[in-house]
């Protein structure tokens, strides 16, 4: 008899909350959210935790992305776990390897790593009231009282549907699958896409290549990134007085909420200010009026995800860099042919074409009450109740789930608040000896209808652009209100919105 069989045979036995035992909790993903979940759950007294990680290391997006120039445009002192502030960040905006090292260090220091089953992808989750049966790619089955999805948002690369892509004779790879065996030095390099990823890559590699061809479909708004290296003396001071780190953490939080987040959800003054910063940056960096015109967006700033990058424009101004704005007709063995008939000959082609943002926990098959299939329920437009739960999927929680990325806050902060919310739910299950908990359909509909109405007046919709925020519903998969409201939601759970099952 397997553990799963044994467990299902005993469903008549009291549940964890009724028996007063620890709930068995499975966490899917050992990235930033998974790490936050383990640390906070442990602290709250929930200690039967197993993390499933498809890869061989923790770190999530910071493990998966290794492209040159990889960095985070959220300030380091805020892009940190609140329970593990780090005095010695080397830079104001961290580079990918530093963040990956930090993720690994926190996971080790807080006892997360030892709870992780590495190289173990979860393929199926099936609700067998009141537990979940979890199946791995290796065919193992386990039963859990609670499942927390911490699978991240942008993890499934999107490959462009361009005729002839597979015929390219040189090296071609997606930005998230960087091929480090390919030396770019002296090569003719092409890059498709001009989002945050592309700008970081172009800024980092253009000096090394013989030709850089950037294929732009839409110009993006670019703000400069005030990068700087921290002095050892300053970092030592922060190590000595940790309260200073807390003040700085709060400072960045307030700064981002009051400027960037405000601009996206309707503060026109802030929006105009962001526009001016970007236009000034463009004017200061690009003297050639023709190139400048090509780089000037015709939609509102903050409509797409804003880019923060100081070395992209200077890279494009170099004589061996070419911004190609003609549409791509096809890809051929020698390079990229644009609609004007020109062949741009290349040795290497980088696809910085983004991710499938509607994936969340998919393609893991998640089957809830009455056989409901999460993929079918979502149908390409995932939504959730307060970004963390789904009606019909009891005892199943999501971190950074649908509408979770709240107004360009630090995703780490959002995950932490969401874990606090889940802990409130577990505490309630424990105190009321509940068997299961799930949002009601009515509460879900009310919340999502309000969201649908509110989002229509944000720049993500009114700004006149297309972006990865917008899903099959035609609306952005984002939180439309001020981030502070979301934090209030997370810290004042409305239990009346839930079916509290005895
Ligand atoms: P992205 O923002 O989705 O950009 C993809 C780019 O590829 C866009 O310029 C898009 O053009 C272009 N593209 C896609 N398909 C194409 C096609 N068939 N033909 C031509 N062009 C095509 O992807 P990303 O740059 O990887 O960034 C994704 C997100 O990751 C960011 O928005 C951000 O949230 C996050 N990120 C954050 C950081 C950070 O520092 N925090 C760094 C990197 C990424 P259109 O604009 O015309 O659609």
Please report, for the domain that includes residue 66, its CATH number. 3.50.50.60
pLDDT beyond 50 at 8: no
Among the three residues 351, 373, 406, which one is the final residue of a domain in this structure?
Answer: 351
- Ligand 1, residue 74: give the atom nearest the CA: 41
Q: Is residue 281 part of a domain?
A: no
Question: From ligand 1's centre to the CA of 337, what distance in Å?
Answer: 21
- Whether 265 is covered by a domain: the verdict is no
Split at pLDDT 50, 70, 90, the class of 4 is very low
- For residue 265, the model assigns a pLDDT of 76
CA 169 – ligand 1 centroid, Å: 24
User: Which residue did the predictor score with more confidence, 100 or 1?
Assistant: 100
Task: Output the average pLDDT for the chain.
Answer: 94
> 390 with 432, same domain?
yes
Instruction: Let me know whether 122 and 214 are in one domain.
Output: no
Same domain membership, residue 119 and residue 196: no
Residues 380 and 323 in one domain: no
CA 369/CA 94 separation, integer angstroms: 43
Label residue 1 by pLDDT band (50, 70, 90): very low
470-494 pLDDT, tens digit per residue, is 999 999 999 998 888 899 999 999 9
2 — pLDDT class (breaks 50, 70, 90):
very low
408 in ligand 1 pocket by Cβ < 6 Å?
Answer: no
**Domain interval for residue 334:** 165-220+304-351
Final residue in a domain of this structure, among 351, 386, 412: 351
What distances in angstroms separate CA 309 from CA 49, 74, 204, 281, one per listed residue?
39, 11, 11, 10
Q: What is the reported pLDDT for 264?
A: 77
Residue 455 inside a domain? The answer is: no
Q: How confident is the model over 23-35, as a mean pLDDT? A: 98
pLDDT at 407: 63
Mutation to probe ligand 1, out of 32, 198, 354, 468 (largest number of atoms < 8 A from CB): 354
Asked whether the bond before 414 is cis by omega within 30 degrees of 0, the reply is no
**With contact defined as beta carbons under 8 Å apart, do 114 and 51 qualify?**
no
Q: What angle do CA 35, 39, 42 make, to 5 degrees?
A: 135
pLDDT tens, residue by residue, 173-200 = 999 999 999 999 999 999 999 999 999 9
Are 72 and 207 in the same domain?
no
- The answer, yes or no, to whether residue 336 has pLDDT greater than 90, is yes
Asked if 7 and 146 sit in the same domain, the reply is yes
Q: Is 223 in the pocket of ligand 1 (CB under 6 A)?
A: no
**Going by CA atoms, what residue is nearest to atom 2 of ligand 1?**
195
225 belongs to a structural domain:
no
Closest CA to 73 of 225, 193, 201, 204: 225
| One domain, residues 71 and 97 | yes
pLDDT band for position 12 (cuts 50, 70, 90) = low
Higher local confidence (pLDDT), 408 or 266: 266
pLDDT tens digit sequence for 361-377: 888 999 999 999 999 99
Contacts of 318 (CB under 8 A, 6+ apart): 206, 207, 212
Nearest protein CA to atom 6 of ligand 1, as residue: 193
pLDDT of residue 482: 85
Q: Is the CB of 352 under 6 A from ligand 1?
A: yes
Percent of the chain with pLDDT over 70: 97
Q: Answer with the one of 351, 386, 416 that is the final residue of a domain.
A: 351
Looking at the structure, tell me whether residues 103 and 216 fall in a common domain.
no
Ramachandran bin of 380, using left for φ above 0, alpha for ψ from -120 to 50, beta for the remaining angles? left
| Residue of 445, 446, 387, 392 whose CA lies nearest to 421 | 387
Residues 53 and 119 in one domain: yes
Give yes or no: residues 38 and 184 share one domain: no
Query: Is there a single domain that holds both residue 194 and residue 342?
Result: yes
- Please state whether 141 falls in left (phi above 0), alpha (psi between -120 and 50) or beta: beta
Q: How confident is the model at residue 5 (pLDDT cuts 50, 70, 90)?
A: very low
Of ligand 1's listed atoms, the one at least distance from the Cα of 198 is 25
Task: Please give the distance, rounded to the nearest whole angstrom, from the Cα atom of residue 146 to the centre of ligand 1.
Answer: 34
Residue nearest to atom 28 of ligand 1 (CA): 354
Would you say the CB of residue 354 lies under 6 angstroms from ligand 1? yes
> Ligand 1 centroid vs 114 CA: distance in angstroms?
35
Is the domain of 345 the same as that of 369? no
pLDDT band at 495 (very low <50, low <70, confident <90, very high): very high
Residue 472 lies in a domain: no
Query: How far does CA 435 lie from the centroid of its chain?
Result: 32
Mean pLDDT for 448-474 is: 93
The total number of structural domains in the chain stands at: 2
């Amino acid at each position: 008899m397997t553990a799963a069989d044994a467990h299902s045979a005993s469903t008549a036995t009291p549940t964890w909350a009724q028996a007063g035992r620890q709930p068995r909790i499975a966490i899917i993903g050992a990235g930033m959210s998974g790490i936050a979940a383990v640390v906070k759950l442990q602290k709250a007294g929930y200690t039967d935790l197993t993390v499933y990680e498809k890869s061989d290391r923790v770190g999530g997006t910071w493990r998966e992305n290794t492209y040159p120039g990889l960095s985070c445009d959220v300030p380091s002192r805020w892009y940190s776990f609140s329970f593990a502030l780090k005095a010695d960040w080397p830079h104001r905006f961290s580079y990918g390897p530093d963040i990956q090292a930090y993720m690994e260090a926190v996971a080790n220091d807080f006892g997360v790593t030892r709870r992780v089953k590495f190289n173990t992808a979860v393929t199926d989750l099936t609700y067998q009231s009141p537990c979940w049966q979890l199946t791995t790619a290796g065919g193992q089955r386990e039963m859990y009282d609670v499942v927390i999805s911490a699978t991240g948002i942008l993890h499934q690369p999107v490959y462009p549907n361009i005729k002839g892509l597979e015929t390219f004779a040189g090296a071609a790879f997606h930005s998230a699958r960087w091929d480090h065996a390919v030396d770019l030095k002296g090569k003719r390099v092409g890059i498709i896409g001009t989002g945050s990823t592309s700008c970081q890559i172009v800024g980092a590699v253009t000096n090394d290549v013989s030709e850089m061809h950037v294929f732009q479909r839409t110009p993006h708004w670019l703000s400069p990134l005030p990068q700087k290296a921290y002095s050892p003396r300053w970092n030592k001071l922060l190590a000595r007085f940790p309260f200073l780190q807390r003040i700085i953490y709060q400072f960045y939080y307030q700064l981002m909420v009051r400027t960037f987040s405000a601009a996206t959800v309707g503060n026109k003054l802030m929006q105009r200010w962001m526009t001016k910063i970007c236009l000034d940056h463009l004017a200061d960096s690009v003297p050639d009026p023709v190139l400048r015109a090509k780089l000037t967006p015709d939609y509102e700033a903050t409509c797409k995800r804003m880019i923060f990058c100081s070395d992209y424009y200077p890279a494009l101004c170099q004589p061996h860099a070419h911004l190609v704005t003609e549409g791509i007709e096809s890809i051929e063995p020698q390079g990229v042919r644009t609609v004007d008939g020109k062949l741009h000959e290349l040795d290497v082609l980088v696809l910085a074409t983004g991710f499938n943002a509607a994936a969340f926990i998919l393609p893991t098959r998640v089957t809830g009450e009455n056989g409901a299939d999460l993929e079918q329920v979502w149908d390409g437009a995932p939504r959730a109740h307060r970004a963390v739960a789904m009606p019909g999927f009891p005892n199943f929680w999501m971190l950074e789930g649908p509408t979770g990325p709240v107004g360009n806050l630090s995703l780490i902060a959002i995950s932490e608040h969401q874990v606090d919310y889940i802990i409130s739910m577990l505490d309630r299950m424990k105190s009321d000896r509940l068997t299961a908990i799930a949002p009601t359909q009515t509460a879900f509909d009310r919340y999502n209808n309000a969201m649908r109405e509110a989002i229509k007046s944000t720049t993500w919709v009114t700004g006149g652009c297309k972006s990865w925020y917008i899903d099959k519903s035609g609306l952005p998969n984002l939180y439309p209100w001020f981030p502070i409201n979301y934090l209030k939601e997370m810290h004042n759970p409305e239990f009346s919105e839930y079916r509290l099952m005895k």
